[in-house]
Amino acid sequence: MSNRLIDLQHITKAFDGTVVLDDFNLYIRENEFLTLLGPSGCGKTTTLRILGGFETPDQGKVIFDGQDITSLAPNKRQLNTVFQKYALFTHMSVAENIAFGLRIRKKSEDYIREKIRYALKLVNLEGYEERTPDSLSGGQQQRIAIARAIVNEPKVLLLDEPLGALDLKLRQDMQYELIRLKNELGITFIYVTHDQEEALTMSDTIVVMNQGYIQQVGTPEDIYNEPQNAFVADFIGDSNLIDGTMIQDQLVEIFGVKFACVDTGFGTNKPVDVVIRPEDLELFAVPEGEDTQSSAYQEAVRSAERLNPGYFEGTVSHVIFKGMHYEMEVMAHGFEWLVLSTRMFQVGTKVLMSVDPFNIQIMKKPESEDEKAVGLEEM
């Protein structure tokens, strides 16, 4: 991927004595779709507002294309923002809304007409020039807000939860529209959301935030498959997060059962956090009424051990049909495990449960509740 476009250096910001960002460092590459993801209050919108010039950091610098723009007014920056509330002018037509910024910049009417035509074609709303915003659907209003932003030819488009007001189907449609727009425009998108699915669907890079700190930076695949701490594992998708003990390299103990894994470098007999995704757990039914010495039970054991020498005995306690799969809860060793499978096991079924060693994620336990997470490696 191409060179750095934005550097946020040692940004600190507090509101009424409450620190929202604390020595925050992040770089963003040109033509990247980067998503700031985290729960409410984690600092993601404040980061976006500092980038847009709507907030000034208490400490630190915003470097844009090699220049310090920390104190530069929003209208002097090569960025445009699309907010969740689209802020369209209801007394103006669609064309007038799109032209607003261009007229402030005193562009010629011929130039403005051409830009309106180009922008409406880009967002698939040709012929809507004379419509008013209140006659449009939520998705159409969102696209007009994007059109108004892109006619100004920004190097960066900032999007603050722009799909939050849309229904599920329209939100999914707009996710693909945004990916298409980003690819066609060749500009940098910086996107704020608390929706994990949006982040995983659209992003080149995800920045997971919590309490003003970056928890992890990586591709969607890295974030989902290789979470670097318990917060990321718990926040991104569903997961089974349990305490374990790293007996030695490639061997972890969970609830007294030893499982093969692929992780190394944690030391011996060290407490760790273990993450197993629900879709990675495999269930093997034990025929009802069979004792542990029966051939049917031993066949189930052999099936489980082919996957991993370690396995749990459990009972299916809950089943929900989700269309593409079944969501089940399995009670084993006093822990209620979440399992996703295309096979359905009836409530009350006795099962053996195991997992491929490659699908067991081991993480160091934080030394304190306030321990700051990972530093940023070059990616």
Q: How many Cβ atoms are within 10 Å of 340's Cβ, its own excluded?
A: 16
Residue 378 confidence (pLDDT):
37
Q: Which residue among 225, 256, 290 closes a domain?
A: 225
Instruction: Check whether residue 54 and residue 190 sit in a common domain.
Output: yes
| 162 and 289 both lie in a single domain | no
Q: How far apart are CA 361 and CA 217, in angstroms?
A: 17
Q: Are 97 and 39 within one domain?
A: yes
Query: Quick check: is 375 in a domain?
Result: no
**CATH code (residue 247):** 2.40.50.100
d(CA 370, CA 350) in angstroms, rounded, equals 41
Last residue in a domain, options 225, 246, 275: 225
Q: Which secondary structure element, helix H or strand E, spans residue 246, and what is its range?
A: strand 240-248
Q: Is 363 exposed, middle or buried (0-12, 13-18, 19+ CB in 10 A)?
A: buried
Asked if 278 and 161 sit in the same domain, the reply is no
CA atoms within 13 A on the CB side of 248: 0
Same domain? For 98 and 11 the reply is yes
CA distance 191 to 242: 32
The DSSP H or E segment spanning 27 is: strand 18-29
Handedness of CA 301, 302, 303, 306 (dihedral sign): positive
| Residue at 374 is within a domain | no
**Predicted local confidence at residue 121, as pLDDT:** 86
Q: Which three-class secondary structure state does DSSP give residue 376?
A: coil
Closest among 85, 8, 19 to 48, alpha carbons compared = 8
Domain containing 32 equals: 4-225
Q: What is the pLDDT of residue 375?
A: 40
Decide if 379 is inside a domain. Answer: no
Looking at the structure, tell me whether residues 120 and 49 fall in a common domain: yes
For position 367, what pLDDT does the model report?
67
- Amino acid 377: pLDDT: 39
pLDDT in tens, 202-247: 999 999 999 999 999 999 999 999 999 989 998 998 899 999 999 9
Question: How many Cβ atoms sit within 10 Å of the Cβ of residue 67?
Answer: 9
Domain match, 47 and 144 both? yes
Task: Provide the pLDDT for residue 358.
Answer: 96
- Coil, helix or strand at residue 18: strand
Residues 176 and 275 reside in one and the same domain: no
Residues lower than pLDDT 50 in the chain:
1, 372-379
- DSSP letter (8 states) at residue 261: -
**Quick one: pLDDT at residue 165?**
65
The answer to whether 80 touches 159, Cβ cutoff 8 Å, is no
CATH number at residue 27: 3.40.50.300
In the chain, the number of structural domains is 2
pTM of the entire predicted model: 0.83
Q: With helix as H, strand as E and coil as C, how does 142-207 read? A: HHHHHHHHHCCCCCEEEEECCCCCCCHHHHHHHHHHHHHHHHHHCCEEEEEECCHHHHHHHCCEEE
Residue 372 confidence (pLDDT): 44
Let me know whether 283 and 156 are in one domain. Answer: no
